[in-house]
Homo-oligomer: A and B are copies of this chain.
């Protein structure tokens, strides 16, 4: 399974470079990706990202400072906030996703069409199996990423 480890570093490198091309860190880009179809509270966001809530506070604070996200007050519970993409953030999320797609396609260019599909399908299978066996909610199932027990990412 060694190739899998190397591949994970390769893909993370591609993500980092693609995000970096738009002055984003990997984590900031990941945040944008996660928020594309959610508006979670801080605690839920921490759960999805596999981070401690205090780490999430910082991540969101930096994103907010750059105008990528907004903290939206919740009427029913005055303790709570929801994190939402700003227009700029949403636009950037789309742009970066396209760039990732482009670079990823390039990276798997050495495979036949059949094998590309096979790889993609096997990857999804592993991810879903892991999500099921660890009981982690992947939500609508987008580029959500590493569900892990210990918040240690």
Contacts and interface: CB of A to CB of B under 8 A. Distances in A.
A54 interface: no
Given A12-B12, A13-B153, A119-B126, A104 B6 contact: no
Given A109-B129, A123-B6, A104 B1 contact: yes
Contacts of A105: 1
Interface stretch (A66-74, A75-83, A140-148): A140-148
The size class of the interface chain A forms with chain B is 35 or more
A55 to B, nearest CB: 14
Contacts of A146: 6, 9-10, 12-13
Interface string A114-133: 01101111111111111001
